[in-house]
Amino acid sequence: MEKVILIKYGELTTKKGNRNFFVKTLTKNIENKLKDFNVLIEKDLSRMYIHYNELDEESIINKIHEIFGIHKYHIAYVTNSSLDSIKEELIKTVKLQNFKTFKVETKRSDKTFPKTSMELSKIFGGIVLKNKDNIKVDVNNPEVIIHVEIREKNTYIYYNEFNGLGGYPSGIQGKGLLMLSGGIDSPVAGFLAMKRGIKIDAVYFEAIPHTSLEAREKVITLVNKLKVYTNDLNLYIVPFTKLQEEIYKNVSPNYVITIMRRMMYRIMEALCKKYNAKVIINGESIGQVASQTLNSMYVINNVTNLPVIRPVACLDKLEIIDIAKKIDTYNTSILPYEDCCTVFVPKHPIINPTLEETLKEEEKVDFEEILQNTIANTFIYKNEKNYENIL
Amino acid sequence: MIYFDNAATTKVNDEVLKTFVTVSKDYIGNTNSLHKLGFESKKLMTAATKQVADLLNVKENEIIFTSSSSESNNLAIKGVLEAYPNRKKIILTTILEHPSITNTLNSLKDVEVINLKLDANYHINIDDLKEKLKLDPILVSIHHVNSELGIIEDINTIGKIIKENSKAIFHVDGTQSLGKIKVDLNYVDLFCASAHKFGGLKGIAILVKKEKINLSPLINGGESQTIYRAGTPALALIASFSKALRLAKEEQPKTYLQVKEINNYLRDELNKLDNVTINSKIDSSPYILNFSIKSTKPETMIHKLESYDIYLSTKTACSSKEDYSKSIYLLTNNKELSKTSLRLSLFKDNTISEAKEFIKVLKDITNNM
């Protein structure tokens, strides 16, 4: 019995104008994801069929759950589209299933087929009843819908329906830069942004020696976990120490965080320009900390005209944690290494900063040169340590 | 030299030794130090651990490095007993275990140790296992491959039965299996193996402990590779373990066929000799071949072979002081066989021509006795 994974495009096909591009990107992403397996991918207008080696089934299904743009999929039995072989395949496969009530839904894209879909469903239903004990038809609320899809060459029979990750294929939306701190929220924000098809690169603000190399390692681990859902994901490291120290030295303690976040946004804007990204993405969640009140957001966001996407803005912490656990970033995020936001937290950061006061504070120092240097010294992290010879 | 004592220990692989030297020289930091050197060491340890976990299809945090399989077995058994003080202190095992399990179990106070029945092929009797699981044991401790005869237990089937019929924790000694035959840890909760049995260095071993199992450490102290065993992580040894396992796994299909061929040849030839009885059943691990030579003292035999630069064991190296093989006696009820047994054990460097040479020498010796 040959099996295929049958993928329906779902939401993708509602966007008529872009459909080809969407499907092409999805195909490329699937091919890329399954490149270590012996698979054959067939496509038609509304579906994709992945032929695979039975032994790899579990591993391939796991990979399918890492690909955005797949909404529903089925594991289907394939046979050729003659009535006899369809019947035969039905008899063989129905015995492997476990259900009490069912109905048959037949689709016939090959309209030259000598019987209508309704007639066929009746015939197939009869066959199922004859070949399995203790089952009955229930058209309103069946435990299993047996799908028989008759196409020109092949017919697909399936008893199941699984949910994929949903979303849009990775990369169809152009690029955004994610502010990745190492906490719980920002990886989730990155995941959700990717879900809508945004290609992301991550930016990490580093304040060595106030933060440790372990904190960097933690961010790298998070990047690797997010990479599962995309083809590639660069990490930019911003050497933030000097700027942060200047702020800390010169600005009123309660405005330190506000000014620091404004500096980060300025750097983000510059990096977006440099690396051709259209939006800033971060893990801010309304009201979670002092810098994430609406007043703070207003004052901080004021330094840039770029859209700032905050995918978790309206989620509760527990909702964010749920996603973090699902995407396996949670356990890394809670490792106790300080990041640059926690190192310099004053006792009483201002909850409702004003723009006027902020500008006054910022004028105390000429940040421009340090800011430009920081941007210029930002670098792409390359995984230079390769243990091939040792391990 | 013909080295046929690989179940006692294998020769270290040159590549593995190179790793040990490189890491000892280039990664001087303590993995727990905060500075760059410590960080570099820690990073390497993480990568080495991850590689081992990947090769075993388990999670990184499920690997505990120890000094030996004996330590791993001790940690598994004592650690579990201490971590679950409210469970009944009943442990199921077999009469064929390595002393690091048997003696550990015997050293415990207030613990009831029950031996599982074996069937004709020396495998655990499944009906008996099901029956005894009703006693609600805390632990089932068995070997994957027995060190003396090479008996292979089907740990997948046994594990499944344990999971379906009880709350017992399944502890498997894989010292003679990892790097040699297929190891599937799906149903195994605790698993130990030692590098020096598959081309690694002596002094480094692992205990795989599945995430959901609790364990109390035997050695308490500061932060280490895991919380289950204190002490500065032996980074060079850990890296060498990882390398040894990777190489052994990569070569495993080839090694297996080669060893199987030698084993078949030896069986055929030994069967032709009147005074020889093969004690290892045909479905045993091909890496171990146990046989008895009628009315010969094994020690004498070992030393005679030694004069030809051929090296075998009497029984497991760890119990070679007793004058008969307990396992063989318990299984065969034949004192003669148990007093005259030899263990020949193979690994990847052995060849058919060595086997031929050995048979020739053996014939010479026995004819002149």
Does residue A183 share a domain with residue A160? no
Question: Looking at per-residue confidence, does A1 or B139 come out higher?
Answer: B139
The residue-averaged pLDDT of B170-195 equals: 97
Does residue B65 share a domain with residue B110? yes
Judge if the upstream peptide bond of residue A209 is cis by omega within 30 degrees of 0. Answer: yes
pLDDT at B29 (0 to 100):
94
Residue with tokens 């502010």: A179
Q: Which helix (H) or strand (E) holds B256?
A: helix B235-272
CB A314, CB A191: distance < 8 Å: no
User: Residue B87's domain spans which residues?
Assistant: 14-248
Residue B103 has pLDDT above 60, yes or no: yes
pLDDT at B322 (0 to 100):
63
**Is there a domain that residue A276 lies in?**
yes
Does residue B315 share a domain with residue B260? yes
The residue-averaged pLDDT of A39-52 equals: 89
Residue with tokens 């590779």: B225
**Is there a domain that residue A117 lies in?**
yes
Does residue A156 share a domain with residue A9? yes
Does residue B65 share a domain with residue B174? yes
Question: Looking at per-residue confidence, does B330 or B116 come out higher?
Answer: B116
Cβ pairs A/B, distance under 8 A? 27
Give the residue from B248, B264, B297 where a domain finishes.
B248
Residue B258 has pLDDT above 60, yes or no: yes
CB B222, CB B230: distance < 8 Å: yes
pLDDT at A233 (0 to 100):
93
Using DSSP, state whether B173 is helix, strand or coil.
strand
Does residue B88 share a domain with residue B234? yes
The residue-averaged pLDDT of B308-335 equals: 77
pLDDT at A14 (0 to 100):
62
Contact call for B39 and A391, based on CB within 8 A: no
Measuring CA to CA, which residue among B158, B200, B182 is closest to residue B286? B182
Contact call for B34 and A385, based on CB within 8 A: no
Give the catalytic positions of B in this structure. Answer: 318
Across A74-100, b (16+ Cβ under 10 Å) vs e yields: bbbbbbebeeeebbebbeebbeeeeee
Using DSSP, state whether B283 is helix, strand or coil.
coil
CATH number at residue B155: 3.40.640.10
Does residue B139 share a domain with residue B19? yes
Note whether A66 contacts B: Cβ–Cβ < 8 A.
Answer: no
Half-sphere exposure of B246 (CA within 13 A, CB side): 22
Does residue B35 share a domain with residue B147? yes
The residue-averaged pLDDT of A186-197 equals: 96
CATH number at residue A151: 3.30.2130.30
**Is there a domain that residue A362 lies in?**
yes
**pLDDT-derived band at A93, boundaries 50, 70, 90:** very high
Rg (C-alpha) for chain B, rounded Å, is: 21
Give the residue from A166, A189, A214 where a domain finishes.
A166
The answer to whether the complex's ipTM is over 0.95 is: no
Does residue A219 share a domain with residue A131? no
pLDDT at A13 (0 to 100):
60
Does residue B275 share a domain with residue B220? no
Q: Which of A385-389, B2-6, B259-263 has the lowest mean pLDDT?
A: A385-389
pLDDT at B318 (0 to 100):
53
Give per-residue pLDDT as tens, B72-100: 999 999 999 999 999 999 999 999 999 99
Contact call for A213 and B39, based on CB within 8 A: yes
The residue-averaged pLDDT of B346-359 equals: 97
Search chain B and give the residue with CA nearest A388.
B243
Contact call for B48 and A213, based on CB within 8 A: no
**Residues A8, A12, A17, A18: is their CA dihedral positive or negative?**
negative
Shortest Cα–Cα distance, B40 to chain A (Å) = 9
Contact call for A391 and B246, based on CB within 8 A: yes
Note whether A389 contacts B: Cβ–Cβ < 8 A.
Answer: yes
Give the residue from A131, A166, A201 where a domain finishes.
A166
Q: For chain B, list residues whose CB is within 8 angstroms of any CB belonging to chain A.
A: 19, 22-23, 34, 36, 39, 42-44, 47-48, 51, 239, 242-243, 246
Does residue B299 share a domain with residue B238? no
User: Residue A317's domain spans which residues?
Assistant: 175-380
Give the residue from B193, B217, B248 where a domain finishes.
B248
Using DSSP, state whether B270 is helix, strand or coil.
helix
pLDDT at B192 (0 to 100):
97
Q: How many domains does chain B have?
A: 2
| C-alpha triplet A156, A197, A300: angle, nearest 5° | 155
Q: What's the whole-number average pLDDT of chain B? A: 93
Does residue A83 share a domain with residue A23? yes
pLDDT at B144 (0 to 100):
97
CB B147, CB B219: distance < 8 Å: no
**Is there a domain that residue A216 lies in?**
yes
Strand order through the sheet with B63-66: B63-66, B205-209, B190-194, B169-173, B139-143, B90-93, B112-115
pLDDT at B271 (0 to 100):
95
Q: Which of B34, B36, B44 sits opposite A387 (nearest CB)?
A: B44
Does residue B33 share a domain with residue B158? yes
Q: Which residues of A266-310 form beta strands (DSSP E)? A: 279-281, 308-309
% of chain A surpassing 90 pLDDT: 70
Provide, as residue numbers in chain B, all residues whose Cβ is less than 8 Å from the Cβ of A212. 34, 39
The CA–CA distances, whole Å, from B167 to B133, B156, B157, B163 equal: 9, 16, 16, 7
User: How crowded is residue A276: how many other Cβ atoms within 10 Å of its Cβ?
Assistant: 9
Q: Which helix (H) or strand (E) holds B114?
A: strand B112-115
The residue-averaged pLDDT of A316-326 equals: 96
H helices of A46-172, in order, are 57-64, 83-94, 117-131
In this prediction the pTM is 0.71
Measuring CA to CA, which residue among A35, A23, A36 is closest to residue A70? A23
pLDDT at B177 (0 to 100):
97
Using DSSP, state whether A25 is helix, strand or coil.
helix
Residue type, A27: T
Contact call for B39 and A212, based on CB within 8 A: yes
The CA–CA distances, whole Å, from A358 to A269, A374, B164, B221 equal: 19, 21, 65, 50
Does residue A229 share a domain with residue A90? no
Where residue B100 falls (left for φ over 0; alpha for ψ -120 to 50; beta otherwise) is alpha
User: How crowded is residue A308: how many other Cβ atoms within 10 Å of its Cβ?
Assistant: 20
Q: Which among B42, B43, B51, B57 is the top mutation candidate for probing chain A, defined by the most A β-carbons within 10 Å of its own β-carbon?
A: B43
- Could you give phi then psi for residue A83, rounded to 5 degrees? -55, -40
As to burial, measured by CB atoms within 10 angstroms (0-12 exposed, 13-18 middle, 19+ buried), residue B324 is middle
Q: Which of B43, B48, B246 sits opposite A217 (nearest CB)?
A: B43
The residue-averaged pLDDT of B55-74 equals: 96
pLDDT at A85 (0 to 100):
93
Q: Rounded CA gap, A359 and A300, in Å?
A: 11
Q: Rounded CA gap, B275 and B273, in Å?
A: 6
Give per-residue pLDDT as tens, B268-319: 999 999 999 999 999 999 999 999 998 888 888 999 999 999 999 986 555 5
Q: Rounded CA gap, B121 and A337, in Å?
A: 55
Q: Rounded CA gap, B139 and B97, in Å?
A: 14
Q: Which of A49-58, A355-364, B83-92, B194-203 has the lowest mean pLDDT?
A: A49-58
CB A22, CB A9: distance < 8 Å: yes
Provide, as residue numbers in chain A, all residues whose Cβ is less than 8 Å from the Cβ of B34. 212
Give per-residue pLDDT as tens, B209-239: 999 999 999 999 987 889 999 999 999 999 9
Does residue A242 share a domain with residue A118? no
Beta bridge partners of A112: none
Provide, as residue numbers in chain B, all residues whose Cβ is less than 8 Å from the Cβ of A385. 43
Q: Rounded CA gap, B135 and B125, in Å?
A: 16
Does residue A25 share a domain with residue A149? yes
The residue-averaged pLDDT of B119-138 equals: 94
Using DSSP, state whether A198 is helix, strand or coil.
coil
CB B230, CB B207: distance < 8 Å: no
The residue-averaged pLDDT of A130-142 equals: 91
**Is there a domain that residue A298 lies in?**
yes
Give per-residue pLDDT as tens, B7-27: 999 999 999 999 999 999 999
Strands A154-158 and A70-80: antiparallel
% of chain A surpassing 70 pLDDT: 96
Provide the CA B31 distance to its chain's centre, in angstroms: 29
**Is there a domain that residue A385 lies in?**
no
CATH number at residue B299: 3.90.1150.10
Shortest Cα–Cα distance, A335 to chain B (Å) = 14
Does residue B277 share a domain with residue B230? no
pLDDT at A383 (0 to 100):
73
Give the residue from B248, B280, B299 where a domain finishes.
B248
**pLDDT-derived band at A3, boundaries 50, 70, 90:** very high
Q: How many domains does chain A have?
A: 2
Note whether A384 contacts B: Cβ–Cβ < 8 A.
Answer: no
Does residue B357 share a domain with residue B277? yes
Note whether A245 contacts B: Cβ–Cβ < 8 A.
Answer: no
**Is there a domain that residue A388 lies in?**
no
Does residue A45 share a domain with residue A18? yes
pLDDT at B224 (0 to 100):
87
Tokens standing for B148?
């003396």
Contact call for A385 and B43, based on CB within 8 A: yes
CB B92, CB B114: distance < 8 Å: yes
Does residue A241 share a domain with residue A322? yes
The residue-averaged pLDDT of A306-312 equals: 97
CATH number at residue A307: 3.40.50.620
Residue A96 has pLDDT above 70, yes or no: yes
Q: Rounded CA gap, B343 and B279, in Å?
A: 9
Does residue B278 share a domain with residue B197? no
Residue with tokens 């691990």: B285
Does residue A115 share a domain with residue A8? yes
**Is there a domain that residue A390 lies in?**
no
Does residue A298 share a domain with residue A204? yes
Does residue A179 share a domain with residue A155? no
**pLDDT-derived band at A15, boundaries 50, 70, 90:** low
